[in-house]
Amino acid sequence: MSLRKVNFVKGEYYHLYNRGNSKQIIFQDDFDYQYFVKLLYISNSLVQFKIKNSPKNIFLVNNGEQIVSIGAYCLMPNHFHILITPIEENGISKFMQKLTTGYSMYYNIKYKRSGSLFEGKFKSQYVGDDRYLKYLFSYIHLNPVKLIQKYWKETGIKDKIKILNFLRKYKYSSYLDYLGKEREEKIVLKKGSFPDYFPVKEKFQKEILEWISYNQ
């Protein structure tokens, strides 16, 4: 996979996303999701790691000098979202190459398939506006709502309590980390590289609640 020829600038923010080829499912079970989250961590390094040769709890491994900072992420059955900023030159391209190649190899071996798993190279959107950057924290973390109410943005939230309870149980995003839940996956994030929109979990809860209430 060739490196992406995009000028990702250090100190700037980007929304990255991609989905399965022909919208196919790319996470079929809990282990697939967990594997991808582990790759989010070990791919963020100048050092090459292999999960199978690492300790069972990969999040305890010191991955050395990081090449990007991740502010938020969400995995959905057939796509993913990552909010990111590069730390070093070509950091995003290197990180995404390691991440998507590593996951594609794992997936193809596990499910005995061949060919491209993702729909071409990852997509990127430059985030140059502070208001839009703050909005992305809600947009990314509210993606799972579509799993229980597909057209919630068009029809409005039908049951706010049900939605909030569902999000609190959804393990495959950084939502729980912003709620202050103690879990090993929190090491994937480097919040200090992003504006401190949510200094306490109550600020984050309020932001999410406002978006849900607006669409109720």
The tens digit of pLDDT for each residue in 93-108 reads 999 999 999 999 999 9
Q: Using CA atoms, how far apart are residues 51 and 32, in angstroms rounded to an integer?
A: 13
Over residues 158-214, the pLDDT tens digits come to 889 999 999 999 999 999 999 999 999 999 999 999 999 999 999 999 999 998 887
Return phi, psi of residue 60, to 5°.
Answer: -90, -10
The CATH code that applies to domain 13-214 is: 3.30.70.1290
Q: What is the mean pLDDT of the chain?
A: 91
Q: Using CA atoms, how far apart are residues 207 and 214, in angstroms rounded to an integer?
A: 11
- Res 55 pLDDT > 70: no
- Res 132 pLDDT > 80: yes
Closest CA to 177 of 140, 209, 210: 140
Instruction: Identify the bridge partners of residue 125 per DSSP, sorted by sequence position.
Output: 15
Cα end-to-end span (Å), the chain: 43
Position 171, amino acid = K
pTM score of the predicted model: 0.93
Please report the pLDDT score of residue 2 as a whole number: 43
